[in-house]
Amino acid sequence: MYLSKAFIPILKNNPSEAKIKSHQLMLRIGMIKQSSTGIYSWLPLGFKVMKKIEKIVRDEQNNIGAQEILMPTIQSSEIWKESGRYDDYGDEMLRIKDRQNREMLYGPTNEELITDIFRSSIKSYKSLPQLLYHIQWKFRDELRPRFGIMRCREFYMKDAYSFDINDEEAFFSYNKFFLSYLRTFKKLNLTAIPMAADTGPIGGNLSHEFVILADTGESKIFTDKRIFNLDSEGSEITKESLEDLRKKYEQYYAVTDEKFNKNEFEKEVLPENRLITKGIEVGHIFYFGDKYSKPLNASVDLSGGKKDFVKMGSYGIGVSRLVGAIIEAKYNEKDEIMKWPLVVAPYEVAVIPVISKNDSKNLEKAINVYDYLKKQNIDVIIDDTDENLSSKLKKVNLIGVPYQIILGKKSEGDLLEFKETGKETTSLSIEKIAKFLHQQKEQI
């Protein structure tokens, strides 16, 4: 992309209506634009980041054998009446009438619709388990939408649903998602901790919220610090290995405030290991057995001739919320610099020629570098404007492009001035730069 042609509407100053860093930055660099309260348009920069996050989320769903579908945003009220949630959901649900006066709604979640799809096609235990997911817009008429896309009304969510024959198999499915969430957040360069959580309007009695630490988070969390040293390395997709993984995490106290119990916390966690702080909920998984399959009559034939309701779980990731959450986690408050993790950066590298009035050599050289990197599948932006070097650097730092190639005095012959945000400048050939960037991406 040529910066002179790019639609990146940067604001001169931080917008006063934004209270937290991610909201300020997203508006400031033109990632999003509010269209009405809690509803946003995604502009090129924001959309690119969200799509990169979506791809990582999708890959990790596919890696545990989940199959992608796409359900509509608009649903009929009928199935919600069957489950009993049409009334329970209250004002958070946006209710609409069509021209035939039929009651419709903009889906806040999809347990009913997926159960309806399942019950109409799957009749035998032999077709189980089924893990299905989609990545689709949701609408919740939040009482207090705030912090930009962090708590908004229309948001992009990955929601998956599992169908199993009994509790044992259902826990296996639950644990597969538990693993895939740990892997997803790690790939996104985030440390997300699974915490015992309340189930709210989704229901059920087994549930984990995946929370990343951030002072601006809305969830208060109470943990044993040692949980931060764990990871999912070495886990395999077998019942035993995944059960061990979940137990490994569950041995440490980690809860959100709805589940907090002072006595338990003080009994289980030594004072030096206690951590009370705030976090952002980026994912939430639930096991609720037959809460939906029973009222919606989603059953399968068992081997002995009997029938039973399938056991279900649901598994959400806030794909659009993650864009803001990554900013909250990665923004360097001290130097006031954003540096996107390479895997989700709006651009991986910026090519910056120093352009003087009568000399276009640096620009020509920069275009060659740009063309080369594009051919190597590197996501690159070239600043071909005639602004001076310091304002060019300011701009890429504001946007958070993690690497820069500067074509000025310090780039001579084949050796180019190459810089990672916050680190020392080095001189490297274009081939070495491309190789280095590929290696950095593969490492994760």
Contacting residues toward ligand 5CA, per CB under 6 A: 109, 111, 140, 142, 151-152, 155, 157, 159, 202, 281-284, 286, 314-316, 318, 321
Could you tell me the end-to-end alpha-carbon distance of the chain, in angstroms, rounded to an integer?
A: 25
Which residue's CB is nearer to ligand 5CA, number 220 or number 365?
220
Helix/strand/coil (H, E, C) string of 391-434? HHHHHHHHHCCCEEEEECCCCECCEEEEEECCCCEEEECHHHHH
Which residue's CB is nearer to ligand 5CA, number 133 or number 403?
133
The residues pairing with 254 across neighbouring beta strands, listed in sequence order, are: 223
Number of residues in the chain: 444
Q: Which residue is nearest to ligand 5CA (CB)?
A: 318
Query: Helix 319-330 vs helix 21-28: angle between axes, to the nearest 10 degrees?
Result: 100
Which residue's CB is nearer to ligand 5CA, number 53 or number 354?
53
Which residue's CB is nearer to ligand 5CA, number 289 or number 318?
318
Which residue's CB is nearer to ligand 5CA, number 107 or number 402?
107
CB of 220 to ligand 5CA, least distance (A): 16
CB of 210 to ligand 5CA, least distance (A): 7
CB 349 within 8 A of CB 3: no
CB of 36 to ligand 5CA, least distance (A): 15
CB of 327 to ligand 5CA, least distance (A): 14
CB of 60 to ligand 5CA, least distance (A): 15
Please tell me the distance from the alpha carbon of residue 280 to that of residue 271, in angstroms, as a whole number: 24
Which residue's CB is nearer to ligand 5CA, number 195 or number 396?
195
Amino acid at 321: R
CB of 12 to ligand 5CA, least distance (A): 28
CB of 38 to ligand 5CA, least distance (A): 8
Tokens matching residue 152: 């908004």
Handedness of CA 191, 54, 66, 113 (dihedral sign): positive
Please tell me the distance from the alpha carbon of residue 272 to that of residue 290, in angstroms, as a whole number: 42
Which residue's CB is nearer to ligand 5CA, number 226 or number 246?
246
CB 257 within 8 A of CB 221: yes
CB 317 within 8 A of CB 198: no
Please tell me the distance from the alpha carbon of residue 368 to that of residue 381, in angstroms, as a whole number: 13
